[in-house]
Amino acid sequence: MIPYGRHDVTEADVDAVVQVLRSDFLTQGPAVPRFEQAVAAHVGVKHGVAVNSATSALHIACMALGLGRGDRLWTVPNTFVASANCGLYCAADVDFVDIDPDTWNLSVPRLAEKLAWAQERGALPKVVVPVHFAGQPTEQEAIWALAQQYGFKVLEDASHAIGAARNGEPAGSCRWSDITVFSFHPVKIVTSGEGGMALTNDAALAESMAMLRTHGITRDPRRWQEGDGAAWHYEQQLLGFNYRMIDIQAALGVSQLQRLDAYVARRNALARRYDVALEGLPLQLPTVLAGNRSAFHLYVVRLKPGIAKKTHRLVFDELRRRGVGVNLHYTPVHLQPYYRGLGFLPGQYPEAERYGCEAITLPLYPNLTDAMQDEVVAALQQTLA
Ligand SMILES: *Cc1c(COP(=O)(O)O)cnc(C)c1O
């Protein structure tokens, strides 16, 4: 089976990890700040806070933004559940904004409409979480303009998008947001095994996220509220967690990051090959907006209903039988049983729902060879014939 995604680990990565294993620090050593600085420098953000997953990063980001009971968080239905769950962790109410039918990202017109509607009812969101789906940057500057108009915070879920850019601006640069989150899960663009990072240009947000990742404790004497300078003194000032990234993970991340540009270039080259090879099949291919460079975390096609002769389910199962590890990103979050239990219903976000009935993620990763990709294309041609 050719999987839809796969990590790439080199001998240099192995050496970097082994070096940490032979060093004095397995955790809370120098590799974590080194990784934070490297990622922050790469996207041009001042502060990076590394944690054990993007899910943890989303959680502490929402907490640092002050999200709590009675507040609202909005995201898109076409995302991994973590983009929405972070709101529920903070006891906030979660709601969704439908997607654009071509980019499959948050629809800015739908967001503008929903904000106007919510303002009349006194029900504006405190935090909006746009997701750079499949690695394509969202229309972040337009979302930011609405944030200024309506007074909400913007938390970019850039789990798919490290290495992407919009009009030359790196995705996740926080130019048009308060906080950005990246994921370093093995299926993402670069990996630390498991891991995530929250980035911000705001020193106070960075400091509170750094405390929240480690129990809400500060060891910085300048922040202490009490204490007489005793050698044992530290202070817990918030209720935080143990969400720390360890040095073994950070060393892998630093080593992987050196190949980020090559990975994104290869992913784009493979995406262009798919674009050419799949033309003429009953499929809607990915649309990349002018000025955008996608990181192509995923290459998703949509079956054109009425033109394709087989159903989504049949095409999917047949591709799997032919050895192509296709996947679905995503079943709309509001249709998950847990969210149905919160009262969400089919029909609420029609674009995301239509998308979920048509989308197929094809294999795409740096070590996918042209020959393997040709096998995928042949399997798709035979299945749709
Ligand atoms: C992978 C992913 C996450 C969660 O990342 P983890 O590091 O696995 O916690 C969150 N949001 C999106 C959009 C993702 O794809």
Domain positions in the chain are 2-257, 260-384
Q: Which of 187, 189, 185, 186 is nearest to 172 (CA)?
A: 189
* pLDDT score recorded for residue 380: 97
Counting every residue written for the chain, the total comes to 385
Question: Ligand 1 pocket, 106 CB below 6 A?
Answer: no
- DSSP code, position 146: H
* pLDDT score recorded for residue 6: 96
The 3-state DSSP class for residue 225 equals coil
Domains 2-257 and 260-384 share a fold: no
* pLDDT score recorded for residue 41: 98
Write b or e for each residue in 99-132: b if 16 or more Cβ atoms lie within 10 A of its Cβ, otherwise e.
Answer: bbeebbbbbbebbbebbeebeeeeebbbbbbbbb
CB 319 within 8 A of CB 326: yes
Name residues whose C-beta falls within 8 Å of residue 76's C-beta, 6 or more positions apart in sequence: 83, 96, 97, 98, 99, 105, 106, 129, 130, 131, 133, 352
Radius of gyration (C-alpha) of the chain in whole angstroms? 21
pTM: 0.98
Question: Ligand 1 pocket, 140 CB below 6 A?
Answer: no
* pLDDT score recorded for residue 360: 98
Low-confidence ranges of the chain (pLDDT < 70): none
Domain range 260-384, its CATH number among 1.10.1040.10, 3.90.920.10, 3.90.1150.10, 3.40.50.410? 3.90.1150.10
* pLDDT score recorded for residue 221: 86
Q: Sign of dihedral through CA atoms 330, 334, 335, 339?
A: positive
Task: Kindly state the tokens that stand for 156.
Answer: 């970019």
Pairing of strands 93-96, 72-75: parallel
* pLDDT score recorded for residue 307: 87
Distance 217 CA to ligand 1 centre (A): 26
Write b or e for each residue in 315-352: b if 16 or more Cβ atoms lie within 10 A of its Cβ, otherwise e.
Answer: bbebbeebebbbbebbbbbbbbeebeeeebeeebbebb
Q: Sign of dihedral through CA atoms 133, 137, 142, 146?
A: positive
Q: Which atom of ligand 1 is least distant from the CA of 58? A: 10
- Domain 2-257: state its class: alpha beta
* Phi and psi torsions of 344, nearest 5°: -70, 150
Distance 130 CA to ligand 1 centre (A): 13
Task: Give the whole-angstrom CA distance, residue 222 versus residue 240.
Answer: 19
Q: Determine what percent of the chain is predicted with pLDDT higher than 90.
A: 95
Question: Ligand 1 pocket, 53 CB below 6 A?
Answer: yes
* pLDDT score recorded for residue 226: 87
